[in-house]
Amino acid sequence: MSEVQKSATFFFYGELNDFLPKSRRGQPVRCLFRGRQTVKHLIESLGVPHPEVGSIEVGDRTLSLDALVEEGAWIKVYPPRLPLPLPAALASGAEEPIRFVLDNHLGRLAAYLRLFGFDTLYRNDIQDDELAQIAGAEHRVLLTRDHRLLMRTCIYYGYWLRSKNPRQQLVEVMRRWNLADLARPFRRCLRCNGLLQAVPKEQILTALQPLTRLYYDDFRQCVDCGQIYWKGSHYERMQTWMIKVLQASTSTP
């Protein structure tokens, strides 16, 4: 004998409507289901990833994602209040205030986050299964343009980037976790994410181009890949750009 079909009605608030078809945005969405289904399962069946959800209410009760949905329930789903708190697993006594892992379409954003000093894992050949495993095991925030990827059960923290523009994506992320005051620029390698340390010019002399050797004396080197950095002609332009990003990330959208 087949199970009786049930129904529940969901209403999504604010930015959660970004995940719904235009015809369903800003209005109640009826969901049909059978058997015992969790709030998480039904919300995601409608297209909304669980890391994007802030709170869930039925009447005067607050529900968890793993709560079972009752027949006829009217469920209100809210986005989180911004800025978000830092991930709980990292907020107390951790060396890094927040850590990221990015999918393989976000190389420019990865470089920008590293430029501001944030621990950011990125490889252009990384696959979805490995991304999800890293995000879950290391409690990293998964940043992606693939909202289905955020539905993996093992992912605790994640965000679907609304913009396709890397600079605007950076501002989105900075705003979401209020990261402007936590930025520590020029401390990570843009190429591999390793930490930079001061290195004597004499130690790297043979690796420098003649003009660099002649005009610059202050150098840093990645402890992992050996990449060398110095304050070249681009440095002032980069500082000006970074100030604009910090200003944008602290202003009202």
Residues 214-223 have a mean pLDDT of 95
Q: Does residue 100 register a pLDDT over 70?
A: yes
pLDDT of residue 94: 64
Instruction: Give the CA-trace dihedral at 211, 218, 237, 105, to 10 degrees.
Output: 100
3-state secondary structure of 121: strand
Which pLDDT band holds residue 107 (cuts at 50, 70, 90)? very high
Instruction: Read off the pLDDT of residues 13-66 as tens digits, 9 standing for 90 and up.
Output: 999 999 999 999 999 999 999 999 999 999 999 999 999 999 999 999 999 999
pTM: 0.93
Distances (CA, A) of 70 to 10, 53, 90, 136: 12, 19, 35, 29
Go through 152-182 and write b for each residue having 16 or more CB atoms within 10 A of its CB, e for each that does not: beebbbbbbbeeeebeebbbbbbbbbebbee
User: What whole-number distance in Å separates Cα of residue 126 and Cα of residue 131?
Assistant: 7
User: What whole-number distance in Å separates Cα of residue 179 and Cα of residue 189?
Assistant: 19
Q: Does residue 1 register a pLDDT over 60?
A: no
User: What whole-number distance in Å separates Cα of residue 4 and Cα of residue 173?
Assistant: 44
Q: Does residue 121 register a pLDDT over 80?
A: yes
pLDDT of residue 234: 87
User: What whole-number distance in Å separates Cα of residue 39 and Cα of residue 56?
Assistant: 9
Count of beta carbons in the 10 Å neighbourhood of residue 70:
10
Q: Could you give the percent of the chain with pLDDT greater than 70?
A: 96
Query: For residue 52, which of 164, 178, 144 has the smallest C-alpha distance?
Result: 144
pLDDT of residue 93: 53
Q: By the 8 A CB rule, do 182 and 189 touch?
A: no
Average pLDDT value over all residues in the chain: 94
Token pair of 157, please? Answer: 């923290």
Count of beta carbons in the 10 Å neighbourhood of residue 37:
15
Instruction: Read off the pLDDT of residues 181-208 as tens digits, 9 standing for 90 and up.
Output: 999 999 999 999 999 999 999 999 999 9
Determine phi and psi for 221, rounding to 5 degrees. -135, 140
Sequence letter at residue 234 = H
